[in-house]
Structure 1
Amino acid sequence: MASRKTPAKPEPKPLSGDKYSILLPTYNERENLPLIVWLLVKYFGESGLQYEVIVVDDGSPDGTQEVAKQLQRIYGEDTLLLRPREKKLGLGTAYIHGLKHATGNFIIIMDADLSHHPKFIPEFIEKQKEGNYDVVSGTRYRGNGGVYGWDLRRKLISRGANFLTQVLLRPGASDLTGSFRLYKREVLENLVQRCVSKGYVFQMEMVVRARQLNYTIGEVPISFVDRVYGESKLGGNEILSFVKGLITLFATT
């Protein structure tokens, strides 16, 4: 009777020289933060890549910072960095603040409310290496990308905003209002120095400026899922700011 061969153990994936810094701006995300951090640790741990997660909390009154400190004790302060600010100062400035503390040569920006699933990050990394892209952006509007959990009003606002930006700015990217992206560090540093927008318009301006500077942009279809815990931060003031920002960009670019 032939003896069975013992399957060879898979060799561990070699570490590359690249390091990925994930920036997580937070405001009242105490319920979501533990799961998003666990997922990031899981996916990066399986990949063998070097990484760090940087939480930029804008003075959340719900105890988000206390939760982040507890997570630091679990995963270590080298893996999870907490870099808070005293109050809510806007999404764009949160990325600038986080970038100052990042040590990776690639920067990943994403939401902390579980609307962006870390399972897409390996596709972002593969796409970047495939074309040596300066920016890789998640898109809800191409391929098998989509939005789940939104009511008709939110879908119309999102589609309408994206349509207007395509018509007025012709950015060469299918999803300007999304906030799930991978940047080469030096590219992100250059872009944030040139951007003047704050809040949600910041994401749109980043792509427009990237086009102006002839940076290459790759896209990965993603599934966007509405937040599980907490309330959406998109309201009337944000919509008005977006329209004003769009008009400003159209007039100045």
Structure 2
Amino acid sequence: MLAISKSFYSLILTWCCIFVLIFYVVYVLEESNSNETDLHFHKTLLMAEENNKYSILLPTYNEVENLPIVVWLINRHMTEAGHDFEIIVIDDGSPDGTLDAAKQLQKIYGENKIVLRPREKKLGLGTAYIHGLKHAKGNFIFIMDADLSHHPKFIPQFIEKQRERDYDLVSGSRYIGDGGVHGWDFKRKLISRGANFLTQLLLRPRASDLTGSFRLYKKHVLENLVGNCVSKGYVFQMEMIIRARQFGYTIGEVPITFVDRVYGESKLGGSEIFQFANALLYLFATT
């Protein structure tokens, strides 16, 4: 009886060892397959990132002094970060020689980096983006001011933010983190804060800065947005964010410091404020 009992327990122990061994082998194989899948995913993601090209749209009007500086800064920061890029200059018939300056920059940096797409006269910001998009080779599009209000040093941060969660668009914000404004008097800061407060209250856009114009878009997203926006001028930027929310696009934000234009005069005036008020009421009624 004792011999049978020992034999039985030996058999049970043997089978337990076999089950443990089988479980271990299956576990190792699953982990190996999982690691290979993760490795393949990360390799695919890395290859996609390496193939990304960024088209930077620069609508210009009387920016002959600012353009050479902003182009130099963009080239510096994009080259240091190792990103493939092109700068598309859309000049709206500037009488100050901006287009001539752009042609000289094209000779310096090359036609593959500086793309000139001028227009005969001032036709508006929204149409400038549409015009630039037609010629953009990148799968990502930056829009920014050419007057040095938006420092190109923030561009790599936009790219990093976009990659965090594959955002459809990333917007620069003056109202989060260490973002802010330099060079504005109290009156203009008050107008900006008031406008932003009203838009947040009435439109609930899920973005902290609606009127800023420093943004990164997936190309197909920007194409869809500009095709559905009806506003003109600076309120065009506000409608873009509202439409993005309406279409369910994901929005990331990067804190930026906005600096009032270095050379020349600010283009913000009473007509822009009136346009903003009209656009706010229109978007409130239609979204």
The share of aligned pairs that are identical, in percent, is 75
Q: What is the CA distance between 1:48 and its match in structure 2?
A: 1.6
CA distance, structure 1, for counterparts of residue 152 and residue 219 of structure 2: 19
Report deviation, 1:124. 0.3
Once the 2 structures are TM-superposed, how far is the Cα of residue 157 of structure 1 from its aligned partner? 1.1
Confirm whether residue 159 of structure 1 aligns to residue 196 of structure 2: no
Query: Which amino acid is the alignment partner of residue 61 of structure 1?
Result: P
* CA RMSD in angstroms, aligned pairs only: 1.0
Q: Which residue, out of 128, 142, 164, partners 1:108?
A: 142
Task: State the partner residue of 1:216.
Answer: 250
The answer to whether residue 63 in structure 2 is matched with residue 29 in structure 1 is yes
Indicate whether 1:47 and 2:58 are aligned: no
- Is 2:277 aligned against 1:243? yes
Structure 2 counterpart of 1:11: none
Shift of 1:250: 0.7
The secondary structure found in structure 2 opposite 1:115 is coil
The CA deviation at 1:154 is 1.0
Aligned-pair CA distance for 1:165: 0.6
Question: 1:180 aligned to 214, 222, 225, which one?
Answer: 214
TM-score, with structure 2 as normaliser: 0.82
The 5 A counterparts of 1:124-163 are 124-163=158-197
The amino acid of 1:179's aligned partner reads S
Q: Give the unaligned 5+ runs of structure 2.
A: 1-46
Q: In the alignment, residue 112 of structure 1 is paired with which amino acid?
A: A
Higher relative contact order (CA 8 A, sep 6+): 1
Deviation at 1:174, TM superposition (A): 0.1
**Using the alignment, how far apart are the partners of 2:147 and 2:253 within structure 1?**
22
**Displacement after TM superposition at 1:206 (Å):** 0.4
Q: Secondary structure at the match of 1:68?
A: helix
How big is the shift at 1:82?
0.9
Q: How does 1:35-114 map to 2 (within 5 A)?
A: 35-114=69-148
Distance in 1 separating the partners of 2:208 and 2:70: 26
User: Which entry has the higher C-alpha Rg, 1 or 2?
Assistant: 2
Match of 2:23 in 1: none
Distance 2:201 2:118 in 1: 38
Q: In the TM superposition, what is the alpha-carbon distance from 1:135 to its structure 2 partner?
A: 0.5
Of 173, 178, 200, the residue aligned with 2:234 is: 200
Instruction: Work out the CA distance in 1 between the residues paired with 2:183 and 2:99.
Output: 27
Cα distance in structure 2, aligned partners of 1:75 and 1:225: 26
Aligned residue in 1 for 2:37: none
TM-fit CA distance, 1:47: 1.5
1:153 Cα offset (Å): 1.2
Q: CA shift at 1:45, angstroms? A: 1.0
Counterpart Cα distance in 2 of 1:91 and 1:168: 24
Structure 1 residue 44: Cα displacement: 1.0
| Aligned-partner Cα distance in 2 for 1:250–1:87 | 32
Q: Give every structure 1 segment of 4 or more consecutive aligned residues whose post-TM-superposition deviation is greater than 2 Å.
A: none
2:157 to 119, 123, 126: 123
Secondary structure of the corresponding residue to residue 55 of structure 1: strand
More helix by share: 2
In the TM superposition, what is the alpha-carbon distance from 1:125 to its structure 2 partner?
0.3
Opposite residue 136 of structure 2, the aligned amino acid is: A
Structure 1 unaligned regions, length at least 5: 1-13
**Aligned-partner Cα distance in 1 for 2:212–2:114:** 24
Which residue is 1:9 aligned to? none
2:50 is paired with a residue of what secondary structure? coil
User: What is the alpha-carbon distance in structure 2 between the residues aligned to residue 161 and residue 84 of structure 1?
Assistant: 32
Aligned counterpart, 1:8? none
